[in-house]
Amino acid sequence: MSNPDVPETEAGNESNESFDKILSQYEQSHSRRVGEDGRQIEGTVIAVSDESVFVDIGFKTEGILPLTLFQNANETVEVGHKLLVTVKGRDAEGYYELSRQRVERPKDWTSLEKAFADKAIIVGTVTGVVKGGLTVDVGLRAFMPGSRSGARDAAEMEKLVGQEITCRIIKLDVAEEDLVVDHRSVAEEEARSTKEQRYAEIKEGDTVLGTVRSLADYGAFLDIGGVDGLLHVSDIAWGRVNKPADVLSVGQQVEARVLKVDTENQRISLGLKQLQPHPWDAVAGKYAAGERVRGTVTRVTDFGAFVELEPGIEGMVHLSEMSWAKKVRKPGDLLKPGETVEVMILGVNVGERRMSLGLKQALGDPWVEAGEKFAVGSTVEGPVASLTKFGAFVQLAEGVEGMIHVSEISAEKRVERPQDVLRVGQVVKAKVLDVDKEKRQIKLSMKQLVPTGLDEYIAEHKEGDVVTGRLIDVSGGKATVELGEGIRSWCEIIAAAKEEQAAAAGQVDLSAFSSMLKERWKGGASASAAKPDEVRAGQIRSFRITKLDQDAKTIGVELV
């Protein structure tokens, strides 16, 4: 809501009310310190503090100038230096506020008419607050509309009372003694002039002293002598800064490097970290591949995570270097920003300022001792980690998996799909068939741990036993013989084939052949039956066991 005592109309409307009527509402008179009436006087520097320069101007109280006026102009000021100054007014502590500019103060209507015609800048002292604005002593009493004071509200207007300000006459009527002045436009011109001068003075690479004026999430704005520069959050420190407010505060003075000056758009980019040595300059002698180091996760991306080893030194852990045990699809599932981790340095590129890190390497490679830990023939146990079309993967240890082929799952029945008999997470036992550390592969079998009819058959027989079996397949001098349900053996039939050849050539023993015929007749064999010694599939014959191999689960026989 606007203050009813400070109308927002322009000077032309506000000045319609007679200056005499406005002054009649002014009840309290104010006297001003004439000072030197705008004339420059010589003063002597008597002290220099971190912020101000104190000058002896011959009054009972010293005058004061901001130290930044000299710093921004790259001018040295020391005790004893002589300065030409103008008295502007007094500050809250009673010191005279000084200016190094000369501004004339008119003394009569003639001087005012000339200043009005020339649109010259004059100096005046604010003497009071009245309805609609302020009264100003510019040699004669003048009225300044509130909208032309540059103040944002009534409280700021009150603070102007007693202050010396620059202004320009925007209305003058000698007959009516109506005098209206404007300070805001002059202040804006002075600000523009100061900015233009500063933009012309500031060069990229300069080191400037600035005061933190405001803070935002993306950076801080610094006042560097009448103009603002942006200090982006990424240029505050070599290490990661989450918020500028974590390291800076409003009013704090800092030195900064000018990174870029955009005169056309009036933008200045600043940096703090550029005044410090880059941490990577010392990396070559500090970090080497193969070392274990600790760091903090700063950010996580789709392809990996960045770990800060020290401020300004970051390395990247690719998702493929995060775990031996499983394929990491999202780095965020394993690492979180702010987490402290131990990693191994895999490579350092000082030129490109890049470092590759490994998380899983810091844990040790579990496959180094896989051959000793999971010996061939031993029995292992673990949960099913995953299922595929061709088998199941079983986790044997952190980072070590073994594979059970679909043909090695069951001895009782043929398994078409592993998921028909197994599920992920199910704990199973298996026999180690083979270990290949180079390929990081372990072959397992479940069925070879389950006792079968073959195991029992081998246990109940010995080599030399004569048994009965059925010929399943005969080819190439070998035959497959079924000795029982699910129990098969192999048989060499070359000798039998030779006997058949000899019989065909008429070399068979007649007595043996006569005996065989009698046996056939006794058994009711027809005259159309096959030859007596012919070996063919489907025959039930007697066999002698020649070999029993429990480990290989094989049986060898020969015809009797």
Per-residue pLDDT at 514 exceeds 50: no
- In one-letter notation, the amino acid at residue 488 is R
In Å, the largest CA–CA distance within the chain is 169
pLDDT at site 352: 87
Residue 12 has pLDDT above 50, yes or no: no
Better-predicted residue by pLDDT, 86 or 130? 130
Say if residue 239 is exposed, middle or buried (CB neighbours under 10 Å; 0-12, 13-18, 19+).
middle
Say how far apart CA 340 and CA 320 lie, in whole Å.
19
- Whole-number mean pLDDT of the chain? 81
Bridge partners, 268 (sequence order): 261
Do 382 and 426 meet the contact criterion of CB atoms below 8 Å apart?
no
Mean pLDDT to the nearest integer, 60-82 = 83
What pLDDT does residue 70 have?
80
Q: Name which of 157-171, 216-230, 355-369 the model is least confident about.
A: 355-369
Closest CA to 359 of 375, 376, 346: 346
Q: How far apart are CA 184 and CA 193, in angstroms?
A: 14
Q: Determine what percent of the chain is predicted with pLDDT higher than 70.
A: 83
- Three-state secondary structure call for residue 39: coil
Element (H, E) at 254: strand 253-262
Res. 33: pLDDT tops 70: no
For residue 245, the tally of other CB atoms under 10 A from its CB is 13
Q: What is the DSSP string of 314-355?
A: EEEEEGGGS-SSS--S-GGGT--TT-EEEEEEEEEETTTTEE
- Comparing 161-165, 365-369, 431-435, 519-523, the range with the smallest average pLDDT is 519-523
Closest CA to 543 of 479, 497, 500, 498: 479
Report the candidate in 398, 397, 380, 388 with the shortest Cα–Cα distance to residue 422: 388
Residue 163 has pLDDT above 60, yes or no: yes
- Asked if pLDDT for residue 496 goes beyond 80, the answer is no
Assess whether pLDDT exceeds 60 at residue 66: yes
Task: Supply the DSSP symbol for 94.
Answer: S
The one-letter amino acid at 217? D
C-alpha 344: how far from its chain's center? 19
Task: Report CA torsion sign: 538, 543, 546, 548.
Answer: positive
CA 247 to chain centre: 20
Residues pairing with 179 in the sheet: 172
Q: pLDDT-based confidence at 453, cuts 50/70/90?
A: confident
Average pLDDT value for residue range 92-117:
77
For residues 194-209, give the mean pLDDT: 84
Percent of the chain with pLDDT over 90: 27
Contact 89, 166 (CB under 8 A): no
Determine phi and psi for 14, rounding to 5 degrees: -70, -30
pLDDT value of position 370: 79
In whole angstroms, give the CA distance from residue 6 to residue 339. 58
Which domains, ranges and CATH numbers included, belong to the chain? 11-187 (2.40.50.140), 202-275 (2.40.50.140), 279-363 (2.40.50.140), 366-449 (2.40.50.140), 453-559 (2.40.50.140)
Do residues 489 and 473 lie in contact, with contact meaning Cβ atoms separated by under 8 Å? no
pTM for the model: 0.44
